[in-house]
């Protein structure tokens, strides 16, 4: 990424934890808050954020236990912990009205927050996630998460791990994420920048009630090759929502914002009125 696209780092104390976030764009511009998925981090959006910052002040939060945010000492990584964290983060920064975007588990946090705080959310973008309590693809992903190591022998090994989940992502994207999602250890080894305890605390709750309660306009994005959010389930979500546009991103899987960046930005352009 070019230097002028680099975000500013910010830190704030929320619910007893020091949280890290990234800040792009004009501080006086309309606000857009980005929430990453499980095991990912705020840097997940680095390739989209500079474009979004042409209109918005873009903030990307490192959830507790992820990225450069503090780990919870009592493994408080339940669904309500994350949703309450979004609320407390918005309050700490004085965010009164904003657009909200979330990927995967971060999408569930985002629409839960939007349902609980309708006066705060101008519009909602949900990326490849559903409100169901059971999802076979999520179960498959978790079996892998719980059996794979926290440490990798090299940065190249992390790149290959990320390639296995998003094979159509450009090499530059994979290398960037591998660098920022891990920290270096002696001998060139790398370690995930996340608390393993959050995997054991993760909840797959029935969130249809929250989904149906969202009152703001919603853009639901699905990777056309995704096994997690099927077209049948995405269509049901569209039907159950009050105001929802569904867009499929070609050649994208669950991390479709990486694999189909141009289509991702094109879908956002109309919904967010980007220049």
Residues 6 or more apart in contact with residue 164 via CB below 8 angstroms: none
Structure confidence at residue 6 as a pLDDT band (50, 70, 90) = confident
Contact (CB, 8 A) for 29 and 79: no
Instruction: Kindly provide the residue ranges of all beta strands, DSSP E only, lying in the chain, ordered along the sequence.
Output: 8-14, 17-24, 31-35, 57-61, 98-103, 121-127, 151-152, 182-184, 190-192, 218-223, 244-249
Q: In this model, does residue 1 exceed pLDDT 70?
A: no
Dump pLDDT digits (tens) for 179-199.
999 999 999 999 999 999 999
Q: For residue 194, give the 3-state DSSP assignment.
A: strand
Residue 104 backbone class (left: φ over 0; alpha: ψ -120 to 50; beta: rest) = left
Gap between the Cα atoms of 85 and 91, Å rounded: 10
Residues 6 or more apart in contact with residue 160 via CB below 8 angstroms: none
Q: For residue 149, give the 3-state DSSP assignment.
A: coil
Strand partners for 18: 13
Gap between the Cα atoms of 241 and 216, Å rounded: 10
Gap between the Cα atoms of 182 and 185, Å rounded: 9
pLDDT of residue 4: 43
Q: In this model, does residue 2 exceed pLDDT 70?
A: no
| Eight-state DSSP code of residue 63 | -
Contact (CB, 8 A) for 186 and 154: no
**CATH C-level class of 3-135+207-272:** alpha beta
Counting residues of the chain whose pLDDT is more than 90, the rounded percentage is: 97
Of 58, 42, 54, 53, the residue nearest 100 (C-alpha): 58
Tokens 């791990």 belong to residue = 161
- This prediction has a pTM of 0.96
Strand partners for 35: 61, 102
Structure confidence at residue 275 as a pLDDT band (50, 70, 90) = confident
Q: Where are the alpha helices (DSSP H) in the chain?
A: 49-52, 79-92, 105-116, 136-147, 155-165, 171-180, 197-201, 208-213, 231-240, 256-259, 261-272
Q: For residue 249, give the 3-state DSSP assignment.
A: strand
Dump pLDDT digits (tens) for 59-73.
999 999 999 999 999
| Eight-state DSSP code of residue 55 | T
pLDDT of residue 146: 94
Contact (CB, 8 A) for 77 and 65: yes
Q: In this model, does residue 5 exceed pLDDT 90?
A: no
Counting residues of the chain whose pLDDT is more than 70, the rounded percentage is: 98
Instruction: List the domain boundaries for the chain.
Output: 3-135+207-272
C-alpha angle with apex 141: 252 to 191, nearest 5 degrees? 95
Q: In this model, does residue 27 exceed pLDDT 80?
A: yes
Dump pLDDT digits (tens) for 212-254.
999 999 999 999 999 999 999 999 999 999 999 999 999 999 9
Query: Mean pLDDT throughout 92-101?
Result: 97
């Amino acid at each position: 990424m070019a230097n002028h696209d680099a975000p500013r780092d910010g830190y704030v104390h929320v619910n007893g934890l020091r949280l890290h976030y990234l800040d792009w764009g004009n501080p006086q511009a309309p606000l857009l808050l980005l929430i990453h998925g499980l095991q990912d981090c705020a840097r997940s959006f680095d390739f989209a954020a500079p474009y979004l910052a042409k209109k918005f002040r873009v903030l990307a939060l490192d959830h507790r236990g992820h990225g450069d945010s503090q780990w919870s000492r009592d493994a408080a990584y339940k669904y309500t912990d994350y949703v309450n964290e979004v609320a407390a983060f918005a309050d700490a920064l004085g965010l009164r009205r904003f657009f909200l975007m979330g990927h995967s588990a971060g999408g569930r946090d985002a629409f839960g927050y939007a349902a609980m705080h309708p006066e705060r959310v101008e519009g909602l973008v949900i990326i490849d996630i559903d409100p169901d309590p059971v999802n076979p693809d999520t179960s498959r992903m978790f079996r892998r998460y719980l059996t794979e190591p926290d440490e990798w022998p090299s940065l190249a090994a992390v790149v290959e791990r990320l390639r296995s989940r998003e094979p159509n992502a450009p090499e530059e994207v994979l290398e960037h994420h591998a660098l920022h999602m891990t920290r270096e250890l002696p001998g060139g080894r790398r370690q995930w920048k996340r608390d393993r305890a959050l995997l054991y605390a993760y909840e797959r709750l029935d969130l249809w009630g929250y989904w149906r309660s969202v009152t703001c306009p919603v853009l639901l994005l699905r990777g056309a090759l995704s096994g997690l959010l099927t077209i049948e389930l995405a269509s049901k979500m569209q039907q159950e929502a009050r105001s929802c546009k569904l867009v499929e991103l070609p050649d994208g899987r669950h991390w479709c914002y990486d694999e189909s960046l141009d289509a991702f930005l094109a879908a956002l352009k109309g919904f967010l009125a980007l220049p």
